[in-house]
Amino acid sequence: MFEDLDFFDYPLTPAPGRPAPRPAVPQGERPGLAQMLLEAQPAALFLLDGAGLILEVGGAWEAVTGIPPAEASGQPLQRWLRYDRARHPGVLRGAGGVLEEVTLTARQGSQVARVTWASRGGYVAGSLEPLAPAAQHAFRTAERLQDAERALDEVVRLLGVSQDAWQADHVRRIVDLAERLAVAAGLSPAEVRAVRWGAALHDVGKARVPQAILQKPGPLDPLEHAVIRQHPAWGVQLLADLLFLPLQTLDAVRHHHERWDGRGYPIGLSGHHIPLSARIVSIADVFDALLSTRPYKRAWSYQEAVEHLITEAGRQFDPHLTRIFVCRVLGFTHLEDRFGCGDARPEESEE
């Protein structure tokens, strides 16, 4: 079937200063020359039917895959390809495309390859081209790092929810809110990850606070307040040996109770002296806490919680991050006149 593809239908125009091309190849000789061209390809070539089954292979197919053409015929090409199908659902579908890094698992062992394909008339033609060893090493290193990051995400999540059911739900919600605010504020992927982990771990120090204080239905007395205010420092102490945690994560744990006006704890930092990750986690933490029922308070309405953020912008919270949170994360864009939602641009929140 490859022989039916006509590679010689285009007129040849000589480049300036170069001799004119030879006369066109006679029609009868074209299939043989096309086959020579295909066989000279260093990539593994394939032709699939509409169901994704291999109709024909060519080029360096057997050299690349180790699979004899007769054995490949009628088999789904996908059985030898490994990639994230959730992220790349359109591979070998649609008009065509390229996926730079798939794992080809065949008799030659696993190797990283680039798959290229194009569709026409119900058929899919394409190629598998192994990547150079250096590129394969980089790809496998990136895969291992992604696996490690997913494992760390789960470890961090479990650390953050190890106290009680309410705390577990609270952590899940503020991780989502803090991550969305970090993205809206224009942080890099690494910074967003650090914020996400900081949100997950922000209250881990409460593991050292007696439950009688945490669950007290009424106001705390001065001594109990002094104990509860130790939880940021205790959290950092508990996490000190986790050397993989970024500084921004520890900053969020240590400083998420600081206030923009300098009246927070544990140090009394103010304004931009408060680390960015802590300012982000603080907004997400307070907003979700306001919406929650606790032994010592009723749940606020959504509107009441938003009003509190607006009122406290520039006092408790970073005013610009609060604007981004209210306008872009929560979607209160109708507050343009009152809260200046048109000014909620990410670049202004960077330090």
Q: What is the pLDDT of residues 74-113, one digit of tens each?
A: 999 888 888 877 777 878 887 888 876 788 887 767 777 8
Domain 2-135: assigned CATH number: 3.30.450.20
Indicate the SS3 state at residue 309.
helix
The shares of helix, strand and coil residues in the chain, as percent rounded to the nearest 5, are 50, 15, 35
pLDDT above 80: residue 203:
yes
pLDDT digits (tens, 9 = 90+) for 16-25: 555 554 544 4
Q: What length is written for the chain?
A: 351
Q: What is the mean pLDDT of residues 264-280?
A: 96
Long-range contacts of 266-271 (CB under 8 A, 24+ apart): 266/229, 266/230, 266/232, 266/233
The mean-pLDDT minimum among 81-90, 251-260, 330-339 falls in 330-339
**Range list for CATH 3.30.450.20 in the chain:** 2-135
Which residues on adjacent β-strands are paired with residue 57? 46
Indicate the SS3 state at residue 59.
strand
Contacts of 155 (CB under 8 A, 6+ apart): none
The share of the chain scoring above pLDDT 70, in percent, equals: 72
**Range list for CATH 1.10.3210.10 in the chain:** 145-349
Domain 145-349: assigned CATH number: 1.10.3210.10
Q: What is the pLDDT of residue 24?
A: 47
Q: Give the predicted TM-score (pTM) of the model.
A: 0.57
Phi, psi values for residue 181, rounded to 5°: -65, -40
Q: Are 197 and 246 in contact (CB under 8 A)?
A: yes
pLDDT above 90: residue 280:
yes
pLDDT tier for residue 307 given thresholds of 50, 70 and 90 = very high
